[in-house]
Structure 1
Amino acid sequence: MSIWIKLLITVILETIVTAKLICSKKGVTDIVCTAGNSDYELERGVVSDQNGITGIHLKSCRITQIKLEAFKGLPALEYLDLSHNSISNLDLGVLDDTQNLKSLNLSFNSIKSLPLGLFDQEPNLEVLDLRGNSIKNLTKGLFAPLKKLRHLDVSNNFLVGRELSPDIFENNKLIKFMDISRNDLSDTPENLFQAFTQIDFLNVDRCFLDKVPAFTTKTNMKTMKHLMLSTNHITQLDDPKIFLNLESIEIINLAKNLIESISENIFKSLKKIKMIILRDNNLRSIPDTLFKGLPKLVNLHLQNNMLESLPVNAFRNSRIKNLNVGGNKITFLIDNFCLELKNSGTNLKKFMFTNNPWQCPCLLDVLVEMRRMGIEYNPDKYDGQQKVCVQQDQYCHRHLESNSVYIDLYQELVELNP
């Protein structure tokens, strides 16, 4: 091999190894960039000064800093993805030449704060994704220019509720999607979302809440359809009026809390509710009329609680199709449970009840009835090869005072057959 060929190969290899950022056009209107082998400071000339570009994709490009004029000369830009980089700060003015921007993704960076005025030249921004950063506070006025904002995600940051100004969202009346989960929202101002008039989805999962916060149920939240309150520290749902204003709600997720008690009238006003998720709580019983008279209720998740009984009255005049009560302490159901539900107006199609300490004769009654009525369940669990119930005699004892005996026997069975 000649010395010139060797030198050429060396130059090519060095170029590949030291390449920092490679950008190319995708179609006529988009620029897509890929990372090289080292961190990179984005400067003018890489993606800037291109009149017809509407989308720039800089995801996972090892960007650590954005120079002030990096986005100069992009009058048509509507979509900018800077997610999954190592950006720690954004200088004031860095976005001033992207006035037609509609979607900005800054998720999964290392941003600690956002300077007041950063969005002053973004009157058309509709989608802003800031999740997965290290933001500790949101300065009052930061979002004021974003009057068209409809989707905001600030989840998985270090926000502290008591330090948030109740006026932070005062100009963001059009927000429909709000995710503020995985922050500390204890002691948050009650009127934090007072400006919202069109909210559709709200996520406050993993926010260290010990009760349903008032800022999620104010009268202006009446347009909301999906509320996520899962994985908090809520212990009681005793106020029957707590969800009274949520007249459009279709899904409420209260999974993985510590709920022990619940008011029998708490869901009564929710005539559009389709799904209630109460799995992974500490419920020992449910009120006799808890889900009664909910004409749209189709999906109900009660698994992994401590329930010993299912009062059939609790489901009358609902439209439940899918019911999950697995992982409780149920040893029997009333005779003809499924038929009683059908006669009361429900339309049960799928019934999941695994990992309960069933009395064997009681379980057999349930299985026979479900097969006869064509109701779906997980038959692989009940194939006769696994220990799924306990039996002391051939009769089903439908008395709660006897439950502790079967629960203890089942626990022993589980421990012997992990």
Structure 2
Amino acid sequence: MKEILLIFLIISNTFGQEINCEYEDTSDFGDENKKTFTCRLRIYNPSGFDDFEKIPGNHDDDVNAIEKSTGHTSIIPSVLCKQFRNLEILSLAEKEIKIVSREAMENCRNLGALYLSNNKIREIHRDAFEGPRGLRFLDLEGNQIEQLSDGLFRSLSKLEWLSISNNPLHELPENIFKSMAALQYLYISNCDIVDIKLDWFSSIPRLIYLEMSHNRIDELPIAVFASLNELRHLIMSNNQLTVLNSNAFHPSSLKNLKSLTFNGNSIEAVDPDIFDAAENLKIARFYKNECVDDAVEVDATTKGKIVLNDDKFSVFYDCISNFDYIDGKNGLKDEL
């Protein structure tokens, strides 16, 4: 009787699965060199079986994008990459995916963009990205990931854009970004991060945009941003910082900065050397802090001690005075 019931359940679940494509030529007809053929995926696979053999249709070699899918699945079926080997874009946002297996994208050798935001992902196999080594865009935002294994991104040397925001990560491995030398945009917001590891950014010198808002960071380690010589925008709003010190940077990592955003912290003191070294700074946002509650547009051509000599920076007077006092009392600052 138990055997019969088990067979019945297997048959019921198998026939309850569905995977289909609505195929469409989505080429940009204004650009003869840009040809795209899209699968509008329809999937129903709540039990997470990975036994799909074939997606109906005869466009296996044509399809290079899976977008605007409907339905839900608890896994990424491996048939997608097995059948559509020329996939460049895989969009499976909001599909209730829970697990990303090693096999899921093993055959996605040409994949350039992967959208997995707003799923229920808790687990990503350490080798999940061994197949799509050419990824340039990866969106993991808005999942339930509590841990990223050390070496997860080791094969993504071409990745330029990464978001792991809105996941309950708490912490990240020291070398999590070690192999990602091409990375330019990084989002780690609302992850309940408390401590920034010194080596996180040392191997991604091409980073131009870093957002770490809505965490619980209360201190910037000495030289933590020192290797980011291309950094343009730094956003660290809604953390628990009390002091903004130039020793978190190097003059070369401040030189190209165009915006600093530290709204909603508890900043009581700001090192004026930050503004002096950031010669291309356009705007500094410091709303809702202890010593300043303002956003200041900066004249990037101003030279010298701009904070002290330019009336536009009078809002930082208390911050500078506090920093000088703390530095004089406790030896707060190392030289830039």
* Alpha carbons of structure 1 residues 80 and 247: separation in structure 2 relative to 1, 3 Å: same
Once the two structures are overlaid, the 10-residue window that deviates more, 62-71 or 81-90, is: 62-71
1:65: how far off? 2.6
Asked if the contact 1:31–1:47 (Cα under 8 Å) also holds between the matched residues in 2, the reply is no
Which residue of the partner structure matches residue 24 of structure 1? 22
Alignment of 1:117 with 2:115, yes or no, is no
**Distance apart, 1:158 and its partner CA:** 1.4
- The equivalent of 2:148 in structure 1 is 138
1:45 match? 54
1:314 Cα deviation after fit = 5.3
- 1:172-215 per-residue CA deviation (whole Å, 9 max, x = no partner) reads 10000000111132233211121102101001101201123457
Q: 1 CA distance for matches of 2:310 and 2:70? A: 50
**Distance between the aligned counterparts of 1:173 and 1:186, measured in 2?**
25
Q: How does 1:110-259 map to 2 (within 5 A)?
A: 110-161=120-171, 164-214=172-222, 216-218=224-226, 220-237=227-244, 239-243=245-249, 244=251, 245-259=253-267
- Give the Cα separation in 2 of the matches to 1:215 and 1:121: 35
Q: Displacement of 1:137 after TM fit? A: 1.5
Q: CA deviation at 1:282?
A: 1.9
Please give the alpha-carbon distance, in whole angstroms, between the structure 2 residues aligned to 1:67 and 1:186. Answer: 35
Q: Is 2:41 the counterpart of 1:33?
A: yes
Equivalent pair of 1:292/1:315 in contact (CA under 8 Å): no
Partner SS for 1:118: coil
Cα offset, 1:21, TM superposition: 6.1
TM-score (norm 1): 0.60
Task: After TM superposition, give the deviation of residue 252 of structure 1 in Å.
Answer: 0.7
- Pair 1:259–1:70, CA change in 2 (3 A): same
- The answer (yes or no) to whether the contact 2:184–2:206 under 8 Å persists in 1 is yes
Query: How far apart in 2 are the matches of 1:44 and 1:19?
Result: 12
**CA distances 1:304-340 after superposition (whole Å, capped 9, x unpaired):** xxxxxxxx96535x7x9xx9x8xxxxxxxxxxxxxxx
Distance 2:85 2:20 in 1: 22
**Mapped contact 1:291–1:315 kept (Cα < 8 A):** no
Does the 8 Å CA contact 1:123/1:148 hold for their aligned counterparts? yes
Amino acid at match of 2:202: Q
Superposed CA deviations along residues 3-55 of structure 1, whole A, max 9, x for unmatched, are: xxxxxxxxxxxxxxx9966631121611113578x958573433797111111
Cross-structure match for 2:324: none
1:259-274 equivalence runs, <5 A: 259-274=267-282
Q: Measured at CA, do residues 296 and 206 of structure 1 come closer, stay the same or move farther in structure 2, by a change above 3 Å? A: farther
Structure whose alpha-carbon radius of gyration is higher = 1
Q: Quote the Cα distance in structure 2 between the aligned partners of 1:170 and 1:240.
A: 24
Contact preservation (8 Å) 2:54, 2:83: no
1: CA distance between counterparts of 2:224 and 2:53? 43
Deviations 1:348-373 (A, max 9, x none): xxxxxxxxxxxxxxxxxxxxxxxxxx
Could you tell which deviates more after superposition, 20-29 or 222-231? 20-29
In the alignment, residue 235 of structure 1 is paired with which amino acid? Answer: T
What value does the CA root-mean-square deviation take over the aligned residues? 3.3
Report deviation, 1:250.
0.5
Aligned residue for 2:310? 315
Q: Distance in 1 between matches of 2:56 and 2:174?
A: 38
What is the CA–CA distance in structure 2 between the aligned matches of 1:142 and 1:210, rounded to whole Å?
A: 27
Tell me, in whole angstroms, the C-alpha distance in 2 between the residues paired with 1:66 and 1:294: 48
Corresponding position: 1:73 with 2:83: yes
Query: Secondary structure of the residue that 1:66 maps to in structure 2?
Result: coil
Distance 1:215 1:128 in 2: 28
Deviation at 1:90, TM superposition (A): 1.8
Q: Taking structure 1 as reference, are residues 285 and 140 closer, same or farther at Cα in structure 2, changes over 3 Å only?
A: closer
Q: What is the TM-score of this pair, normalised by structure 2?
A: 0.74
- Structure 2 residues not aligned, in runs of 5+: 1-15, 27-36, 316-336
**Selected match of 1:88 from 98, 103, 111:** 98
State whether residues 185 and 210 of structure 2, in contact with CA within 8 Å, keep that contact through their aligned partners in structure 1: yes
Could you tell me which amino acid in structure 2 is paired with residue 27 of structure 1? D
Secondary structure class of the residue paired with 1:25: strand
- CA positional deviation for 1:141: 1.6
Q: Is the 8 A contact 2:188 2:211 kept in 1?
A: yes
Q: How far apart in 1 are the matches of 2:297 and 2:78?
A: 57
Structure-1 separation of matches of 2:187 and 2:56: 30
2: CA distance, partners of 1:99 / 1:293: 47
> 1:103 and 1:285 mapped to 2: Cα distance?
39
Q: Structure 1 residues 285, 137: closer, same or farther in 2, change over 3 A?
A: closer
* Aligned residues between the structures: 282
Alignment correspondent of 1:279? 287
Q: Tell me if structure 2 keeps the 8 A contact 1:189–1:215.
A: no
